[in-house]
């Protein structure tokens, strides 16, 4: 895996071993950030972070901060290692997405960009939780980027900006 653009363009990073995570590929990451536009100065929340590919890409492209949320302990170690290797700063949280969203909401934290890439087969399980908790942690004019299997069309109580298929993946962008 490699960073597609920004200050760390071309730098390689690791993905967790095994099949627990499915890192977002270079082509899909590039497409997602093309849809989002500039992220300089943004506060980013990377949910179901896996390898951290999307959040690392955001930091390389100038995001001010990124909180990586991943419940798998091995994956969180890989994300931390990737941050150190790339010389980037981010917070890695080893908790469930629901717990983190509830905590960020109670602390009044708001994010400009939320990246959500749950395991494809688990989208329908997580969709109600995200629908209920995401809007509260979004800053004005925030964007939410959801990656799902190509045949899944996510629904959230936000404005649909666009949805596009890229091979076996679908990127859907919502706004507040």
73-110 residue pLDDT tens: 999 999 999 999 999 999 999 999 999 999 999 999 99
In a domain, 7, yes or no: no
Q: What is the pTM of this model?
A: 0.94
In a domain, 19, yes or no: no
In a domain, 144, yes or no: yes
pLDDT digits (tens, 9 = 90+) for 36-48: 999 999 999 999 9
Which of 102, 97, 105, 91 has the alpha carbon at shortest distance from 70?
A: 97
Which of 140, 82, 92, 147 has the alpha carbon at shortest distance from 113?
A: 140
In a domain, 3, yes or no: no
CA-to-CA distance for 48 and 158, rounded, in angstroms?
20
Question: Tell me, what's the pLDDT at 2?
Answer: 83
Q: Count how many domains the chain has.
A: 1
In a domain, 17, yes or no: no
* Helix (H), strand (E), coil (C) string for 80-115: HHHHHHHCCCCEEECCCHHHHHHHHHHCCCCEEEEE
Specify the 3-state DSSP secondary structure of 35.
helix
CA-to-CA distance for 3 and 141, rounded, in angstroms?
26
In a domain, 14, yes or no: no
In a domain, 124, yes or no: yes
In a domain, 16, yes or no: no
| Domain span at 129 | 26-175
Whichever domain contains 156, its CATH number is 3.40.50.150
CA distances from 156 to 16, 30, 128, 141, 144 (A): 29, 23, 8, 15, 10
For residue 135, give the DSSP letter: G
């Amino acid at each position: 895996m490699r960073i597609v653009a920004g200050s760390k363009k071309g730098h390689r990073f690791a993905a967790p071993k095994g099949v627990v995570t499915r890192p977002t590929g270079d082509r899909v990451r590039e497409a997602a950030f093309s849809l989002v536009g500039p992220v300089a100065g943004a506060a980013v929340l990377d949910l179901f972070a896996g390898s951290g590919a999307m959040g690392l890409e955001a930091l390389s492209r100038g995001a001010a901060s990124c909180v990586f949320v991943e419940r798998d302990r091995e994956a969180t170690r890989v994300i931390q290692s990737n941050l150190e290797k790339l010389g980037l700063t981010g917070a890695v949280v080893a908790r469930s997405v629901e717990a983190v969203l509830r905590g960020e909401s109670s602390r009044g934290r708001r994010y400009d960009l939320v990246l959500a890439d749950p395991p494809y087969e688990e989208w329908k399980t997580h969709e109600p939780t995200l629908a209920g908790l995401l809007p509260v942690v979004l800053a004005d004019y925030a964007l939410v980027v959801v990656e799902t299997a190509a045949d899944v069309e996510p629904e959230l109580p936000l404005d649909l900006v666009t949805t596009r298929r890229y091979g076996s993946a679908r990127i859907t962008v919502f706004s507040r």
